[in-house]
Structure 1
Amino acid sequence: MADQTHGAVDSLLGLLSSAIKDEARLLGGVQGDIQFIKDEMESMNGFLLHLTKTDTPHDDQVRAWMKQVRDIAYIAQDIIELYKRDLRPPGSGLWALVRHVPVYLRTMPARHRLATKISELKVRVRDVGERRQRYGVTVPDSAALKPTLVDQDGKTDEKREDFLRALEDDHNREAPCPSFSTAIAMLPCGLASEAGSDIQGILEKCLPDHVDSMKMLLRALYAYPYGTKDELQKLLKKLTHRSANVKWEVMVFCYGKLSTHYKSCLQYLTAFLQEIRISRTSLVRRWVAEGLVAKYEGAQPMEEAGERCFNELVFRGFICPENPGATGLKIKSCKLDDSVGKFIMRISESENFVAGALPTHLRHQVEIRKIVQRQPPPEKPWPRNIWDDLCIRVPRKQLDMKDIDDSTAADGGKLHPMDDMVNLLKSLPKEYRLNVLDLGGCKGLKKRYLKSICEVLSLKYLCLRNTDVSRLPRQINNLWKLETLDIRHTVVPPADTEHIFLPNLKHFLAGQIIRQAGDKTESFRTVRMPRKIGKSTEILRHVEISRGEVDLERIGHQKQLRKMGVVLDGSGDNIKHLLRTITKLSECLRSLSVWITPSDKAGDEGVTLNSEDSIVAAFSPPKQLESLNIRFFNSGVPSWIRGLENLSKITLRDTQVTREGMRTLGELQGLRCLRLRHGSLTENSITLDKGEFKNLRFLLIDQVSIITAQDGAAPKLEKIVWTFDRMEITQDTISGINHLHSLKELELHGEWNDPGGHMKQAIAGHPNRPSITGTPVQTRLSGPPCA
């Protein structure tokens, strides 16, 4: 509980410091109150920092006081943020100041009400501080303090990879009772020699029944080895008891080696115990929205700090990676082991003031997720009198179901899950701050429910992905603190987002690829670019560019934009403005997705994404670009991707890449994932030449009939995914597969037959014996190959 409270106060102190800097805009008396609150909260934070370091359990008095501090920190943050919002500067210059006068006068009553709340808050903060002294809540004795733990770098480096490989090799080589000798010898700071006997003693207690526990312990010692000899001796002593729960004691030890912020992030996973899989990006953004992630030097943006935390929890063994992603660089999704889930549930409950219950913010997240996962009750047919009345006034062929109010739909007498959601939101205390609302996958999400959700002004994260929401209410602009809005895979009309203005929005996610049944063509459905966006946008994908230069000029001013995805007409003017926008973002852009539709203008047939074709002076490619996704008819490979050392993932559609273009791709040293979708190649075959694709791990090819690999090509290629309609395997279908020395898996999608056993022979002759996913049909296929 000290960890959670310390994080809440940390977040508040940053806001207070920012508010004090704007002293010229503070009403009389408010500045002194805010300074007093800041000083008091700093003192409380110092005390909390001591509590997070102590080895002794917190008594009821301490826990009660910590709960009061955490509650008041949340209340204070909301009040200060509202006050700062109403004091937004008018801009520069005399005219801006004059224009701001009506706003200033109009908001004066609200500003004075907030000033009164700040004055009342000052009294409450003083009372909480005095209450600690009145009830004898004291600073822990220095002898009981643990060593300070700081956030680790959480990045996958070669040394860590070597250690993990040694750990797995020890397990597999020495099963069923491994000694982990190689991994123990790799422990830093001389632990193998200094505390070797203690580690061996713990090893004997863990094996053979608790191999995973021993692996988790060794990971913790590798990640944070400082001051562990005494702790290892204490752990060994606990394990010698006949009734000791080995898995629990080892997990408690490893949990203790996490920093305050990492513990908070781990506890937050209690909200996902019922999930089959957990999206990495969604989890990280929720951590950031909840204020659980700590800032660290050089980390911009905060999501990078969240990624560090995720990577560290994976390395420590608390999170199990499920989908490593195509490049192998980032995990796409993860899951929780049952034992870890039970552990963090017990830890979270033990740190809450109410025995046997989760902390309030975790409990509400669990309740919300249960509501979202419920299936809505079947709707009754429309009452005949309502239907007949509508049909009289509106011809049946023109009747739109939106003409009927949501509330008239009968639901069989059962309460709709979203009604329960609205009731839950209304029951929350005014001072409670709900930061995250994840409605992903929810059905029956009507506009009236969204209007109620838009009354929760504290929201920072709102996910409507994969819901059946059909409209966005204008009240969504009330969510002025919103940082993430996810409306991917919905049918929200394009125009609904034009008038959205969310000044603090960092992540705007929209759109979906539409594939027609039995048709190879694809289209992209998304919403239009908002006419107003804040200056802190980091992710904007995908939006439709409907106003050409105006929209692209607005995007070009987003100096923190890391990921951009746009859908636009492929006219020469649009491409020219797009390249200019990319130039403006060349220092910050890491992911670029461009979905270009054919232009109707004469003379635009030969336009490509090459800067020389669009006559753009001083074009500068994005130097930090890691991912590139292009759909552009007959555009080929942009020549400016040469020299982009960080480019690791490329997806192409309808680009008609020539053999020369393939050579350009093959020269990219950092390329790890290549997806060649429908229409991406001019030929019906692909050749991997010697010396090309030196670091490629994953290759996806679509509608190609022949793959040829020369000796020395793609030496690190591990997986090929091959998609086609129908194909008969011949000796030339996949020639030189034995030259792909690292190949582990061949995944086939489509109807195929191998009457001559050529595929089986090729796999049998490969040193890795790669697996084949996909079952061949038993009869000879008719029709043209790879139709």
Structure 2
Amino acid sequence: MKEEANEEIWKYCGGLPLAIVTMDGLVACNPTKNNDHWSKVCKSLFPEHVAPLTLEGVTRILDYCYTDLPADLKTCSLYLSIFPKGSKISKKRLTRRCISECFVAEKQGLSAEEVAETYFNQLISRKIIRPVDHSSNGKVKSFKVHDMILEYIVSKSSEENFITVVGGHWLMPTPSNKVRRLSMQSSGSRHGNSTKGMNLSQVRSLTVFGSQNRRLPFESFNNGIIQVLDLEGWKGLTNKHLIDICKMLALKYLSLRRTEVSEIPSKIEKLQYLETLDIRETNVEVLPKGFGQLKQLRSMLGGNKNTRKALKLPHEKNKEPMKALRILSGIEIDEDSSAVASLHQLTGLRKLAIYKLSKREGGQTFTQLRSAIEYLCSCGLQTLTINDEGSDFINSLDTMSAPPRYIIGLELSGKMEKAPEWIKDLNNLYKLTLSVTVLQTRTFQLIQDLPKLFTLTFTLSAAKDDRDIVVLEENKQLTDREIIIPPGGFKSLKLLRFFATMVPRLSFAVTGKEVMLALERIDMRFEAFEGIYGIETLKSLQEVHLSVGNQADEITKFLVEDLKDTPKYLDKKYADKWPKIITE
């Protein structure tokens, strides 16, 4: 963006932040336009050139920015009106829904997911959405829409009969046409939440917000055309409703996340167009036999990552492979070998997350599982998560005949004795999470030359077994009670995290040598803490976040306070370089 255009826009916008940010995004996304063009635009938008900028002037800016959007981005922008004012929106939730509604499709050799990523980034660049949370890999995880921008989008969406909002913050007129996409928001709204008088026979998408009980007008829908059913968090859902849902034969996106449903009927096999099934954080414990008949399914999301509650696969081998499946997350592997045998068929899988392994060491099932993982990795698996609290399977991964060369995200939790040696050969690895039981100097030495490693996490298993502490104590004995981060290497590492009951003494100080040159942030969550030394040598470090548990002893609290107070005792030139210490 050119400096002259910046100054002119600032002048016309009268210093109003929303106007400046929105125009700034417009200019940034039109780099070929010269200053004369932007001068004419400003004069057309602000003919009176008065300060401060009026509400009408802001609306003119939003109108111009909306008109400037390519057709695909206009559709994606209008789709944001589904979500309530002030809500934090999941990026994956938005993109999966857009794909299911065919607003995003494969283009120029890019997959639908890759195209959705480019659209999402353009919405950020144009300042239509604002990132809120980032994943540990640095990518945007959730976002918000400015209230005034969302109000404009909702109004525009209503005008075009694109989305109908019932309840919530906005007072919208009852649509005279048939409702195509229905967003039912909080019943506490002073604007009411009734669909009375609406023609719901053409509803293609239904989204419900709010956890309160409420009756949904299922009988008014045409089951043959509904493509998106997003009931996340709706406490009124029962197993009985699922019988009706299984009649919605055109359904592509079904989210029952955080509902109280406990069983998925076998009739779900009738949903032959289903692409996303989200039953995370529900009471569903096993998938029905009909699950294997969902030939278009791309994302199967189950279990609970925080509690490691997992979902059992059907105890039968599929007659035909689920070739479209890309994500299988939150599953449990037990002694049944037929479920494991089905994994070999999922050659299109890009993410596999196993939250639970049954407690039985050795045997044919685990041999088959290791074989399946190795085979899937050779077929292009990119993200692998294994949480093994109840068996010794995780320690057998070192015997794999070849490293999983396509892996970009790896999470291995449980009673690990040492990290697999093949990790050092994962040149595409971006994100690595390891059990805190391998928090050792030699582990850092093993992975220090990974060229793309962005995030490194050492974490405690969900079970919080005392054995983790025992193993850590054994490790400290082997390393003279201190873990030394080796110099050199870690050229791309930005985020280093330790989530454990006890974090032993960590040292970054190596005389005359540079350590973790790119590291920007350290996160630590613990009950006991033995100190962190040499952080002043980390040239790019900006923040250290320390979360101290309720059971922390006085020594731990003293060390944390001492770390915070250190800049007080340093010369100013050194104190200014000290990272920001944030405690929780």
Q: Is the TM value for this pair above 0.5?
A: yes
The alignment yields a C-alpha RMSD, in angstroms, of 3.3
Distance in 2, Cα, partners of 1:482 & 1:373: 33
Q: Secondary structure at the match of 2:140?
A: coil
Which residue of the other structure, out of 694, 706, 724, is the alignment partner of 2:526?
Answer: 724
8 Å CA contact 1:219, 1:315 repeated in 2:
yes
Counterpart for residue 343 of structure 1: 152
Distance in 1, Cα, partners of 2:146 & 2:17: 14
Residues 606 and 461 of structure 1, relative CA distance in 2, 3 Å threshold: closer
Counterpart for residue 316 of structure 1: 126
User: What amino acid maps onto 2:2 in structure 1?
Assistant: I
Higher helix proportion (structure 1 or 2): 1
Post-superposition CA distance 1:562-601 (Å, at most 9, x none): 11112435536445434433343334211111123444xx
Q: Secondary structure at the match of 1:595?
A: strand
8 Å CA contact 1:349, 1:357 repeated in 2:
no
Higher strand proportion (structure 1 or 2): 2
8 Å CA contact 1:738, 1:767 repeated in 2:
no
Residues 435 and 373 of structure 1, relative CA distance in 2, 3 Å threshold: farther
Counterpart for residue 268 of structure 1: 79
Matches within 5 A, 1:228-627: 233-241=40-48, 245-274=56-85, 276-300=87-111, 302-328=112-138, 330-352=139-161, 364-367=181-184, 369-370=185-186, 420-421=215-216, 424-429=217-222, 433-494=225-286, 496-500=287-291, 501-513=293-305, 524-529=309-314, 531=316, 532=318, 534-546=322-334, 550-566=338-354, 567-569=356-358, 571=362, 573-585=364-376, 586-599=378-391, 607-611=395-399, 619-627=401-409
1:695 corresponds to 2:492 = yes
How far residue 278 of structure 1 moved from its aligned partner, in angstroms, is: 0.6
User: What amino acid maps onto 1:469 in structure 2?
Assistant: V
8 Å CA contact 1:608, 1:636 repeated in 2:
no
Distance in 2, Cα, partners of 1:761 & 1:470: 51
8 Å CA contact 2:543, 2:579 repeated in 1:
yes
8 Å CA contact 2:523, 2:546 repeated in 1:
yes
Counterpart for residue 203 of structure 2: none
How far residue 332 of structure 1 moved from its aligned partner, in angstroms, is: 1.0
Counterpart for residue 134 of structure 1: none
Distance in 2, Cα, partners of 1:514 & 1:224: 43
Counterpart for residue 463 of structure 2: none
Distance in 2, Cα, partners of 1:756 & 1:326: 24
Distance in 2, Cα, partners of 1:716 & 1:359: 58
Counterpart for residue 115 of structure 1: none
Matches within 5 A, 1:138-287: 183-185=1-3, 200-208=7-15, 210-226=16-32, 233-241=40-48, 245-274=56-85, 276-287=87-98
Distance in 1, Cα, partners of 2:278 & 2:415: 29
Residues 246 and 560 of structure 1, relative CA distance in 2, 3 Å threshold: farther
How far residue 692 of structure 1 moved from its aligned partner, in angstroms, is: 3.4
Residues 483 and 275 of structure 1, relative CA distance in 2, 3 Å threshold: farther
Distance in 2, Cα, partners of 1:221 & 1:359: 38
User: What amino acid maps onto 2:118 in structure 1?
Assistant: R
8 Å CA contact 2:257, 2:281 repeated in 1:
yes
8 Å CA contact 2:496, 2:519 repeated in 1:
yes
1:739 corresponds to 2:545 = no
How far residue 238 of structure 1 moved from its aligned partner, in angstroms, is: 2.6
Q: Secondary structure at the match of 2:398?
A: coil
8 Å CA contact 1:293, 1:306 repeated in 2:
yes
Choose 577-586 or 436-445, whichever is displaced more.
577-586
8 Å CA contact 1:628, 1:647 repeated in 2:
yes
What runs of 5+ residues in structure 2 fail to find an aligned partner?
A: 165-171, 191-210, 461-467, 477-481
Distance in 2, Cα, partners of 1:609 & 1:220: 50
8 Å CA contact 1:651, 1:676 repeated in 2:
yes
Matches within 5 A, 1:616-695: 619-653=401-435, 655-656=437-438, 658-678=440-460, 679=468, 683-684=475-476, 685-695=482-492
Residues 606 and 631 of structure 1, relative CA distance in 2, 3 Å threshold: closer
8 Å CA contact 2:495, 2:521 repeated in 1:
yes
Distance in 1, Cα, partners of 2:260 & 2:219: 23
8 Å CA contact 1:372, 1:442 repeated in 2:
no
How far residue 453 of structure 1 moved from its aligned partner, in angstroms, is: 2.3
8 Å CA contact 1:529, 1:546 repeated in 2:
no
Counterpart for residue 202 of structure 2: none
1:715 corresponds to 2:526 = no
Distance in 1, Cα, partners of 2:156 & 2:458: 47
Q: Secondary structure at the match of 2:154?
A: helix
How far residue 303 of structure 1 moved from its aligned partner, in angstroms, is: 1.8
Residues 646 and 224 of structure 1, relative CA distance in 2, 3 Å threshold: farther
Counterpart for residue 109 of structure 1: none
Choose 273-282 or 214-223, whichever is displaced more.
214-223
Q: Secondary structure at the match of 1:564?
A: strand
Matches within 5 A, 1:81-160: none
8 Å CA contact 1:418, 1:449 repeated in 2:
no
Residues 717 and 572 of structure 1, relative CA distance in 2, 3 Å threshold: farther
Distance in 1, Cα, partners of 2:18 & 2:324: 43
8 Å CA contact 2:394, 2:414 repeated in 1:
no
Distance in 1, Cα, partners of 2:578 & 2:109: 45
Distance in 2, Cα, partners of 1:606 & 1:442: 37
Distance in 2, Cα, partners of 1:356 & 1:232: 38
Larger Rg: 1
What runs of 5+ residues in structure 1 fail to find an aligned partner?
A: 1-182, 186-195, 375-415, 516-522, 776-787
Q: Secondary structure at the match of 1:559?
A: coil
Matches within 5 A, 1:5-44: none
8 Å CA contact 1:464, 1:488 repeated in 2:
yes
Q: Secondary structure at the match of 1:366?
A: strand
Identity of aligned residues (%): 27
Distance in 2, Cα, partners of 1:232 & 1:294: 37
Distance in 1, Cα, partners of 2:278 & 2:522: 31
Distance in 2, Cα, partners of 1:337 & 1:226: 27
Distance in 2, Cα, partners of 1:352 & 1:763: 59
Q: Secondary structure at the match of 1:754?
A: helix
Post-superposition CA distance 1:81-109 (Å, at most 9, x none): xxxxxxxxxxxxxxxxxxxxxxxxxxxxx
- TM-score (structure 2 length as normaliser): 0.78
Residues 720 and 479 of structure 1, relative CA distance in 2, 3 Å threshold: same
User: What amino acid maps onto 1:670 in structure 2?
Assistant: K
How far residue 296 of structure 1 moved from its aligned partner, in angstroms, is: 1.2
